[in-house]
Amino acid sequence: MQMFLDILLVITSVLLVLLVLLHRAKGGGLSSLFGGGVQSNLSGSTVVEKNLDRITIFVGLIWFIAILGIGFEIKFA
């Protein structure tokens, strides 16, 4: 279990770094290189940005759960 959590932590850490770098900053980001997607009239944000936000939050939650799992395993093992 420890090995699985360690591998999961490394993979999610790298994914989080890449996903955060893809987000658009105030002046535009790397995500603008991939087309930007379809404009949404309601919020002014693109579909790509919304999906990127959702994926980043999901990967962040998996990263957090992996950290907690490693911590519990260290404490109670």
Domain spans of the chain? 1-19+49-76
Q: What is the pLDDT of residues 5-17, one digit of tens each?
A: 999 999 999 999 9
Q: How much is the pLDDT for 39?
A: 47
d(CA 52, CA 37): 11
- The burial class, CB within 10 Å (0-12 / 13-18 / 19+), for 25 is exposed
Q: Could you tell me the pTM of the whole model?
A: 0.73
d(CA 6, CA 71): 11
